[in-house]
Structure 1
């Protein structure tokens, strides 16, 4: 089955107004240095390749779609970075956010898969815009670990697309936790989104962003463990501004 391709906004479109009576959420334009941050060549090339090799050699993979009923695609494995490598990542994150403290949320209902290797191939997944639950994540990050990745395979931000093609919001703020709360709905069709801004996938690039903005992996690629999209994901809580 062909993947759904989200229309990417250029900013030059003349779009209609949002229809009256439809639920809305605020729009926060994704801007580097404001709500997302990027660091290229985060580790030395030698260290980045060592991390990649370590992840690919893992034996404790948990399977997602299409192999199980999990909502997430491909396979994942915990403890991707060593404590020293993770400390390097978190020091950079704190500096970018101006925060003294980061922590991983504790939940007895959901596993927060932070510092987790995620390996997904072309036929295993597609873009799935979502917002991270605000009770579990304020900021998320992705370390891309596939050399020479396919184009349009990084992390994209999205905004709502209404039936009349109007462009809506993309952000969930307090008191809401997620899109279900904010829009008072059970689910949205995959076609209910425009692609807005993309962070390109580059080997050894670390991307940090606000988890309350609608986002997703732009796409996946590859048909074996050596050429699939490999990334490490991180999720943190912080003190609110």
Structure 2
């Protein structure tokens, strides 16, 4: 949290990836960046996180997305209720599952966050399973996602018409964890729904976007985006 915070101001909820990974395994340089830019940052360990027992983990944050993403949204509401976040300056950002949670937060509560940043996000659960068919981990992915109504209902690309907040997407073209087609689909659906969306694609990079210049560019893009939509 920025030092000297005395009144409600801009804030970011930053759900972790995984979905099981806990915050200490997250992208801490993002936290430092947001804090340096004047945002209060909250990293919720939502239900579906590892390290808190089977009851807390549940079936996982995809199969029980309503619980996991509901916890993420409650984190945003807590920031507002505690007088930390101005409700008009509250954003959400995430990488991988965190990006998925950031997008799916709009499906549950389109008015909570005023800007959404999603890096290498899952956007269609059924598509995630289909894209694993040619890989040896196909059965693992299939079991992890599961079957049932949650596959459609838990896919933000299917509910682009619910989005009120502007969205910026980032993805590497060589991502084999989450294909860049996931962000492409989200962009297409949001544009078709008349939503405010921008997609930044990085050629030749994988899920971690492990390139200093690219990460620097992404931070500049995020800073500009948040300044436009969360600025006073």
Same fold (TM over 0.5): no
Q: Which has the larger helix fraction?
A: 2
Instruction: Normalising by structure 2, report the TM-score.
Output: 0.26
Higher relative contact order structure (alpha carbons within 8 Å, sequence separation ≥ 6): 1
Instruction: Normalising by structure 1, report the TM-score.
Output: 0.25
